[in-house]
Structure formats: structure tokens, C-alpha cells
Structure 1
Amino acid sequence: MKNSVEYLSETRVQLDVAVSAEEFQPAYEKAAKSLAKQVNIPGFRPGKAPRRVLEANIGKGYIIEQAINDNLDTYYQQAVVEADVRPMSRPEVSINEVPEMNGKGDTTELKFTVEVEVRPEISLPNPADITIEVPSTEVTDEDVESALVDLQERFATLTEVKRKAAKGDYVNLDLVAKIGDEEVDDVAGVSYRIGDGNMLEGQDEALTGAKAGDVVEFTAKLAGGDHEGEEANVTVTVHSVKESVLPEADDEFAQLASEFDTIEELKNDLRESAAKSKADEQLMGAEQKFIEEIEKLADFPLPQAVIDEEVANHLQNEGKDAEDEHGKEIRAEIEKQLKLQLLLDEYAEGFGVNVGQDELLNFLLQQAQMYGMDPNQFIQAAAQANQLNAFAGELARNKGVIAAMRLANVVDDKGKAVDVAAVLGEAPEDEKTPEFNKKATRKVTKKATPKKATKEAAVEEAETKEAPVEGSAVEAPAKSALKAEWIAYRVATGELTEAEAKKMTKDELVNFGA
């Protein structure tokens, strides 16, 4: 098989593929055997008619058509591998010539052209050129004291007070929200701690200074329900005010709240926990900043046809027209997501990241926990939806980021270097080093796509070279030439499965009454 590749743009290629009659012969033989079992030829049992009799009855062109339908995708996939391109969209196929299959010495070929969007050439920014500043993980006495107070809060007792409510106090209240004269929401007997800010905007300010029996009013935008975002008049009736009384921070409390015997031991443990928590937050912050930096530095074109299809699918899923303005709004986000995925994929491949089965299983268990699902059900659902490869890809991208961050310069806000490897672990022995900041090598040529009229003419001319057999079921093989092209195109683009294509062929043969 011969093929050539030309870049129509930095993200679109044209593959010209030629399969000689000799190479096509096995496909032709297999198609003939398959068709022989599907047709009734007088005087022969199904599948037993000699080749020349079969060709005389249904036409050689029809067998060629079937062979193309069955093998076009295989030829396309082989050409993609040999051309070293990575398709990102469904291919657009044009069949330009079909072989005559005239036996030995036949120099005719199956020739077809494919245009397809491909993965762009990506120059990876060097992580060593990137400096990330993150907060220090130094734990202060105030951090320890704050953690201790949080622990004390768990064992606090509530005592009713007659004074005005202050921040940190608990109030028992009824709440009614109205828009105009319509009551749109109400709750009763709710306990709320002033300062939490998890109900309505302005509620903390309204309750501060209130006493049991007071009624306070304020306006706020509703945070949920049918009237979410609308301005409402809110009336709150305060039934009681209670203060939180914390237990004494002593050895007795340490023994009550932990496995430690003394308050000093408990404080040391809280200090260690605070340090670990800060280190985790530092790492998360460093990773996000690193990703933002490489996104800024990376500059490569995106396959616009892929983005167009994503936008169209998004609009269709939302029941919107293709020309809806929402398409412009989501395009930027789709482009951003695609760019990041391609970039992180390139890092993962550059570092030679491998994802083992155990790693994938652990990752799936974490995802199941995140979604609150039974692990077995989650994994089964992922497998049924063919999402396991997607999860493996996500895990590989995560590992690629970790590998790249080991090479970056990470410092805290006090100028101290952060030992990223101490947190992320050392690089595996078999880890590769990508070629950073490499120059693009693709050369774009301007070659027009073959016109459809020319393509159809080539197919018809090739098919009509065989004269019809007098009295055969098919008057001329040329009548099925464009159908062969049509089916082959849809098989290659995924619009038809091979099974569907075969069924269509079989139905037509039956209609011929052969």
C-alpha cells in the first residue's frame, strides 16, 4: 500500500492512499465468498458457484464494492499509522479510483483521499523556566490556637443569655420572606450561629444586637427556590439567644477529646496536622499556578473543526439552534479545555507516563467516593459507557503534571525553596525527559480538495470498463459505483457500521432476484 500525507493546515491533513490490485486481491476473494453465500444462482448450492459464474450474475463491480466497504477503514487506519498522524475528527473520504481485478498483471489500484483533523504539533514549555510562589507552610501559635478552639467547639455547651446577640452566638428563629404581598418562603425553629453567613445576605448584621423576643427586618436576594436571585423583604423573629461555652483547654480536655494525656501533647499533634494541611494546600495551589503558567507559555493551533463539532453538540444537547448566540459564549471555554487537555497529554507522553491497572483501580475508587457511589456500580457504569480509557487518560495527565512540577522552581512567600519532590515523591527510574521548546517541523501546503464531480467521474469510468453480461441480473456494474462510494464513505466516517453496510448490500442483492 502506498500513501502520502500533505498538511492542508497545521491541524488538517490530506492522505492520498493507493492499494494495488494485488494487495486488494485477498479482500476481493473474501467479499466474493461472502456474497456467494447470500445469492441464489440456478444450478448451484449457496456458496458453491464458481467465481466466473458469480461475477457473471452479480457483476464484478458489485464484489469490488463489497470489498471496499469491508476494508476501507482498515486501509485508512494503516495509512494513519504509516503517516504518523493522530486523527481528532471523523475523516472525510473521497474514492477516486477502484481496481478492475483482471487477474495477474492488473496495474489498476484502489485510490482514495482522506481529509481529517489531526493533533497539532506542540512545543512543551520547560518547567525549569517557571517559578511558582506559594504560601509558606510555617505553623504559628495562632494556627494551633485556632485548631484547638475548633476542637473545643465540638464539645461546647449552649447556655441561654438575656443580653444582646453577638457574633458566635446561636439564635433560635422563625423567618418569613415576601416579595410584595406574596409570601415566598418561611422556616420555623431554626438554630443559626451568627457569623456563619450560610443563610441570607445581611442576616448576620440584622441579628447582631437583637435579643429574645425581637423582630428584625431586612432585604436580601433569595439564594434558592423558584424566586432565586429576586429581592425579598425578610422578617426574622428571635425566640432565644444562646452563647457557646467552651470547655477548659487542660489535660482533662485532652483526654476527653483525643488519645493524648496532656494538653501539650494535643497541641503538638494539632501543630503537625496544621503543617500537613498547609503542605497539601500549598501543593494544590502550586499545581494550579503551574498549569496556568504553562497554558500562558504554550502556543499552538487548535483543530477548529473539532471545536465546531463540540459547540454544535453542546447546543444540540441544550435544544438550541446551531446559530444560537450561546455558541459564541461556550466556544472560548471549549477551546481552553481542549488546549489544556492536549498540552497535558503531551507532557504525559513526553515523560513516558504509564498507568498501571492498580493505579487506575485506585483512581476509580477515589472517583466513586467523590460522587458518593458504590465502587462496583461506578466501575461497571464507567465500563459500559466506555469511559475507562478516559479515566486512564485523566490519571496520566495528573501524573504528567506531577512529573513536570518536579522540574519547576517553587518558592514560598518568604523566598524559601520548596522541596516539591519531598511532597510528590521522587521521579520513577524509567521516567523520560521530554524535548522542551522544540521547533515546529510541519510544512503546510496548499492543495485543493478533489472536487466531488471529478471523483464521481473517476469511479464511474473505472466501473464501466467491464461490459455487462447478457442476461445477467445486473444490466451494468456502473449502476452501483456511486453506491459503493457512498457506503464506503459512511463506514469510514462512522455513520454506518460494517454490519449495517453489509445488510444494505444483502438487501439490494435480494432485490436483484439473482
Structure 2
Amino acid sequence: MPSSKLEIIEVKSAVETLDPTKVKLTVEVEYDELKPSIDHAYKHIAEQISVPGFRKGKVPARIVDQRVGRGAVLEHAINESLSGFYRQAVTQTNIRPLGQPDVQVIKVPDLEGTDGELHFTAEVEVRPEVELPELSAIKVAVEDVTVSDEDVAARLDALRERFGTLVGVDRPAVDGDFVVLDLSAKVDGEEVDTVSGISYQIGSGNMLEGLDEALTGLSAGETTTFVAPLAGGEHEGQDADVTVVATTVKQRDLPEADDEFAQLASEFDTLAELTEDLREQAANIKQSNQAVQARDLLLAELTKVEVPLPAGVVEAEIVRHLEGEGRLEDAEHRAEVLEQTETALKNQIVLDILAEKLAIKVGQNELLDYLVNASRQYGMDPNTFIKTIDENGQIPAMVGEVARSKALAVALRQVEVVDGEGNAVDLSEFIGSDEDDAAVEAAGVAVVESDDVVEVVVDESAEAPADADADEKA
């Protein structure tokens, strides 16, 4: 990932709080701080104009002033540097912008001479100040880890299904059967889609709404029709008249659960050994589910606090979502998106505050692990995925996601987690430990995030611990 550094500049800035989620920055920039941008403006304009007797790029400033005017030069310089001055003011005042600023230039340097200041204001929606509850005072209760015989039987059946065989049957189809089908859909009498020879398992629910019910009770060679909204294509969401023909009905025959199957499907010699392993797997999954449940319960506790939300940020996200779906005029859907947006933004604000409170640092490997997992979800090559989001300026957002997730995990170490009987629950296998975080810091590698700059910083003074005692000190 490319790295860059924000040029250090000095500005005078003051903050006026307009409401809990909006502030007004007043920024004053001295002429000397603006001069490098003015010089660059002269150079850039000189490269764009032709003046007899001068080579392009070598036109003196006084000639540029005569040709385009001092005002045009200042305008170019201000437009070029304004975002940098704004970012510096944000850094100095420690505000956390959530939206784009509304900038108004109220004073520019004198058109004549080489003095005067640049003054501007910037109204921007910001993250509100929220007081989170003390983590040590929070207690969450998760479900007990109990593995029943039914849990084990379900896992054994799932394993047997992987080694099952499909056999044609001469009877009406039932839930779980596989049906080879032909399907056609019409909208207002016009055929809009057709497929043939598709194998579908009744109950999977991954095709058309109502298909499971239509196929149940259908024998090979029989036809039925039903009405369903189309799931994609040009007519997505529209009701269509669907005709489906069941050409073949098959059931899955499962192998017998015995020692021979255990040897076929696993590294174990006996069914008893396989069953015991499946029981351990079920227990591990339920313990992992405990960690997920504890995380969700902790987030619910943290978000009980009152969090004022910036209206402009909420509205911008709603419009972006609805425009993407082509449903700007859908009032009912807007209400749904509003609720989802407000919940997501509230969670983000709370977790960002939590991450700051816990001084969360995102290790380079943690970020890369997240990006690789995300690339798999999109079915993309990891290198291509990372390059794409980096070029689109999305790396800071990814760092934020990792930091929020890590903040919850670190916070879980400080809250009381108990099971249904009040016994303490150890989640260290799933949420890490303080020693793990210390190892990341001792390695000297961390990801640093700013408004639009992300770089990997290696602290050369940090050395790996020489022994166990040094590790504990880290």
C-alpha cells in the first residue's frame, strides 16, 4: 500500500459548537503559509498560457498577473490548499468529522502586495461526545454450552449426506427431495425467463418464492403453475406467472452409520470414536457462539446510552442506498432504511469511542487478514481486491472496521461474562488476550489512520522480547 505524509502547516483555528453533532470551524491562515500554494499556482498557470518571448512554464509572475489577473492566481492557490488547511484545523481541534464540510471563504490576501491572510469557516457534522458506561460494571449472561444427542445426530446426518447417493423415486416429491425441473416465467403474458434441467432441493429456498410449495406433492412428469415475484433481471420484483415441470424426482439415500462409514468419512476406525469427535465439534461451535452472543450483548449494553445522530449524514446514506436500488420514491422502504441507517451509525459512533477509550491499535497482519477474508466473500483475488480498495481510498474505512471489531473483543476481557447458572465463562480462545496485544506492539508494527492517509509505521526502537520476563513487561 502506498504511503504519504500530510505536510505540516500552521493555522489558527477555533471551534464553535452549533449543536451536539455540528460545529463551525473558523480558520485563519497567514500569508507565509499560503505562499507555497501561490508560487505553485503561478507555475501551473505559466505552463498553461502562451506569451511571446517566453517559454511555457517560464512566464514571470508579473506577466501572469497581467494576462490572467492576480485574483485568478489567488483563487487557484486557495482551491488547491483549502482542503489541507481544513484537515490541519481538524487535527488541531480534535474534532471527528462524519460528513463533508460546508466551506465559506470570508477573507483572501490583498490583490496588491504580498501580505494579508486567508480566513474561512467550515461547518461540518461531527461525532458527538458520548459517555460510555464503565466496562467493569457490565455483566452479560450467555447460554450454557450443552451438547445433546440430537446435536450429535444432526452432525452425523450432515456427514452422511455428503456421502449419500441420489436415487430416482416413483412418488410425489417431499421436503428434502431433489427435483430436476424445467421452469418458465411470464409477465403480462410475455415470457421473460426460462431454464431447463435445473436440479433443486425442496426446502433450500434459494430460487423463487413459492417454489418449495409448488414442487411438494409433484411427481415426475407433472406440471404446476404459481405466481411469484422475480428475484432478478429486468423485471426484478414484479409478479410473474411461473410454470414448472418436474422431470425427475430423486431422494438421497444415506450410508449406514457404522464402523465402515466412520473409516470412509474420517480418520477414525469406529463409529464411537467418530461420534465423540462430532460431540467435541458441536461443543466448540457452541462455545464460539457464546463469544458471538457475548459480543452482541455487550454492544447492546453500550448502545443503551443516548447518542445524538447527525441528520445530514443519515440522510446522505439513505439517499445513497435508495438511489442504488432505484427506489427513491418508496416511502415505506425509506422508513426501513432510516431505521437500519440510524442503528448502524449509532453502533459505529459507540464503537469508535470505545476504540479510542481502549487505545486500540490495528496490526498490519490484522488488517491483511481482514482484507483477505473480505476478498473471499467477493470471490476476488486478494491482491486484486486490496489494490482496488486502496485505489478507491477505502483502506481507512477497512482499518476502522477492524478497530471496531477489535475494540469489542478487548472490551469483553473487562466485562463479566457468565452462563445461565452464573458461572464465569472463559472466552480467551475467541477474543485474545492482553498478552497478544502486547506482542503486536512489541513487534513495532502498527497501522496509523488519518483522514485520508494510511501508512505502515515500523518503530525501529521496538525490539522483540528477549525472554519471558521481557514479554510480560511488554
Offset of residue 372 of structure 1: 0.8
Distance 1:158 1:34, change over 3 A: closer
Offset of residue 420 of structure 1: 2.2
- Distance in 1 (CA, whole Å) between partners of 2:169 and 2:59 is 101
Indicate the larger mover: 144-153 or 123-132.
Answer: 123-132
1:35/1:63 contact within 8 Å kept: no
- Distance in 1 (CA, whole Å) between partners of 2:162 and 2:152 is 16
2:38/2:74 contact within 8 Å kept: no
Q: Does 1:395 align with 2:407?
A: no
Q: Does 1:280 align with 2:288?
A: yes
Indicate the SS of the match to 2:417. Answer: strand
**Which residue identity lines up with residue 16 of structure 1 in the other structure?**
T
Q: Kindly provide the CA deviation profile for residues 381-428 of structure 1, in whole angstroms up to 9, marking residues without a partner as x.
A: 112212222212211111112112223333444554322223222134
- Distance in 2 (CA, whole Å) between partners of 1:50 and 1:168 is 81
Corresponding position of 1:93: 104
Q: How does 1:26-425 map to 2 (within 5 A)?
A: 27=36, 30=39, 34=43, 68=78, 71-88=81-98, 89-96=100-107, 98=109, 109-158=117-166, 168=176, 196=204, 215=222, 219=226, 221=228, 224=231, 226=235, 230=239, 232=241, 244-295=252-303, 297-314=304-321, 325=331, 330-413=337-420, 415-425=422-432
Distance 1:265 1:354, change over 3 A: same
Indicate the larger mover: 404-413 or 170-179.
Answer: 170-179
Distance 1:33 1:13, change over 3 A: same
Distance 1:400 1:232, change over 3 A: same
- Distance in 1 (CA, whole Å) between partners of 2:338 and 2:86 is 30
**Which residue identity lines up with residue 239 of structure 2 in the other structure?**
E
**Which residue identity lines up with residue 158 of structure 2 in the other structure?**
D
Distance 1:124 1:186, change over 3 A: same
Corresponding position of 2:24: 14
- Distance in 2 (CA, whole Å) between partners of 1:58 and 1:200 is 65
- Distance in 1 (CA, whole Å) between partners of 2:376 and 2:409 is 23
Distance 1:147 1:319, change over 3 A: closer
1:202/1:218 contact within 8 Å kept: no
Distance 1:48 1:150, change over 3 A: closer
Offset of residue 363 of structure 1: 1.6
TM-score under structure 1 length normalisation = 0.65
2:181/2:244 contact within 8 Å kept: no
- Distance in 2 (CA, whole Å) between partners of 1:76 and 1:148 is 61
Corresponding position of 1:483: none
1:92/1:114 contact within 8 Å kept: yes
2:218/2:246 contact within 8 Å kept: no
2:143/2:420 contact within 8 Å kept: yes
Offset of residue 373 of structure 1: 0.9
**Which residue identity lines up with residue 79 of structure 1 in the other structure?**
A
Offset of residue 172 of structure 1: 5.9
**Which residue identity lines up with residue 358 of structure 2 in the other structure?**
F
Corresponding position of 2:458: none
**Which residue identity lines up with residue 17 of structure 1 in the other structure?**
V
Offset of residue 91 of structure 1: 3.7
1:164/1:210 contact within 8 Å kept: yes
List gaps (5 residues or longer) in structure 2.
1-10, 439-474
1:203/1:218 contact within 8 Å kept: no
Distance 1:413 1:211, change over 3 A: farther
1:25/1:101 contact within 8 Å kept: no
Indicate the SS of the match to 1:92. Answer: strand
2:51/2:59 contact within 8 Å kept: no
1:31/1:63 contact within 8 Å kept: no
Q: How does 1:408-487 map to 2 (within 5 A)?
A: 408-413=415-420, 415-428=422-435
Count of residue pairs the alignment pairs up: 422
**Which residue identity lines up with residue 122 of structure 1 in the other structure?**
V
Distance 1:429 1:68, change over 3 A: same
Distance 1:414 1:179, change over 3 A: farther
TM-score under structure 2 length normalisation = 0.70
| Identity over aligned pairs, percent | 42
Offset of residue 371 of structure 1: 0.9
Distance 1:424 1:324, change over 3 A: closer
Offset of residue 254 of structure 1: 1.2
Distance 1:172 1:429, change over 3 A: closer
2:101/2:122 contact within 8 Å kept: no
- Distance in 2 (CA, whole Å) between partners of 1:363 and 1:164 is 47
**Which residue identity lines up with residue 271 of structure 1 in the other structure?**
R
- Distance in 1 (CA, whole Å) between partners of 2:71 and 2:24 is 27
Cα root mean square deviation, aligned:
4.6
Distance 1:101 1:293, change over 3 A: same
Distance 1:61 1:128, change over 3 A: same
Offset of residue 279 of structure 1: 2.4
1:200/1:223 contact within 8 Å kept: yes
Corresponding position of 2:442: none
Offset of residue 102 of structure 1: 6.6
Indicate the larger mover: 186-195 or 329-338.
Answer: 186-195
Distance 1:239 1:408, change over 3 A: same
- Distance in 1 (CA, whole Å) between partners of 2:292 and 2:172 is 42
Distance 1:287 1:324, change over 3 A: same
Corresponding position of 1:475: none
- Distance in 2 (CA, whole Å) between partners of 1:94 and 1:161 is 79
Query: Rg bigger for which structure?
Result: 1
Distance 1:114 1:170, change over 3 A: closer
**Which residue identity lines up with residue 230 of structure 1 in the other structure?**
D
Indicate the SS of the match to 1:282. Answer: helix
- Distance in 1 (CA, whole Å) between partners of 2:193 and 2:41 is 74
